[in-house]
Amino acid sequence: MKIYGKVLKVFPDERILKIEYKNKIYCLYMTRKTFKDFGPYFYKRPYIFVEIGKDINKYGEHYGYEVISFIKVVEPSYRERRIYYDIKEIKKDIKKLINKTKNRMFLDLEFSLPAFYQSVPHVAEIVQYGIVIEDNAGNIIFKDSNLVKPTKKVGINSRTLTFISRKREEFNDAIDYKVFYDILKKCMTKYNAKVIAWGKSDILMLEQSFFVNKIKPLGIRKNYINLMQVIKNYYNIKEDLGLFNTYQEYSNKEPEEQMHDALEDALVTREIYRIFKEKINKEKQE
């Protein structure tokens, strides 16, 4: 059910607020994450537009409804209406971002893990990469993957090898980090592609690798799309999304065992992007 009204009172400890809707007072309960995201707006007593659950429940001393999602948060002003949050505008901006992106580089990285009995501080390093670049029409114009030798040999331990399903001897033919760096730099220059990854860990790890290897940063963050966050923002989802769970939901394909292979993950990210783009553009036509 969708309701709206002016915030009358806030109970921060209980994460509850009261609004008036059609001459009736409603108590609305929020999860910790939702209250953290929207709580700062409530002290200005804005008008809120929300979707709530159909069942009334007891939350501490209050009876109310759980907020499923926020639709709009507007400051009550007689001079100029200030919009703090509007899911329609967010969706419009995301559609614009997705549709204007031409060449796209789907990037996935696998990292070294600390050994089970490691006594020294662990520094995670890139041990495998997967790169898939497609043009605006969706045709793959570059695809590459390889194992990467970490600077610290301790990174190739049994825990890392088990996680990425590799054998130690396979790293005998692994490339040096500088080779990977040059491939990535060349791809960014030649194809001028928007870098698309699932979550923020790959980009954080990539930026850390520049520092660890004492090499000039590529400034990748300004040309990067976190596809998981984009989907979360579009559908107003609060929890993080798993790559393969999202792929299975979007593609309706049977679950497969995740192998933690960088190229496979990059291809799965590409497929999710394709389906997501198709879905949001269909919504536009409805």
Q: Over 70: is that where the pLDDT of 234 sits?
A: yes
Which CA distances in Å does 67 have to 49, 61, 83, 170, 258? 10, 17, 19, 51, 34
Q: Give the residue ranges of DSSP H helices in the chain.
A: 32-42, 87-100, 158-163, 177-191, 201-212, 227-235, 243-251, 262-285
Model confidence pLDDT, tens digit, residues 48-99: 999 999 999 999 889 999 999 999 999 876 666 789 999 999 999 999 999 9
The 10 Å Cβ neighbour count of residue 26 is 18
Q: How far is CA 15 from the centre of its chain?
A: 25
Model confidence pLDDT, tens digit, residues 133-173: 999 999 999 999 999 999 888 889 999 999 999 999 999 99
Fold assignment, 101-285: Nucleotidyltransferase; domain 5 (3.30.420)
Q: Over 60: is that where the pLDDT of 193 sits?
A: yes
The span from the CA of 180 to the CA of 166, in Å, is 19
Fold assignment, 2-89: OB fold (Dihydrolipoamide Acetyltransferase, E2P) (2.40.50)
Q: What is the pLDDT of residue 154?
A: 82
> So where are the chain's domains?
2-89, 101-285
Q: What is the pLDDT of residue 94?
A: 96
Print burial letters for 127-164: b (CB count within 10 Å at least 16), e (below 16): bbbbbbbbeeeeeeebeebbbbbbbeeebbbeebbebb
What spatial distance separates the first Cα and last Cα of the chain, rounded to whole Å? 21
Range with the lowest mean pLDDT among 55-64, 77-86, 236-245, 249-258? 249-258
Q: What is the pLDDT of residue 286?
A: 45
What tokens appear for 1 in the block?
Answer: 């059910």
The whole model's pTM is what?
0.86
Q: Over 60: is that where the pLDDT of 217 sits?
A: yes
pLDDT band (50, 70, 90) for residue 255: low
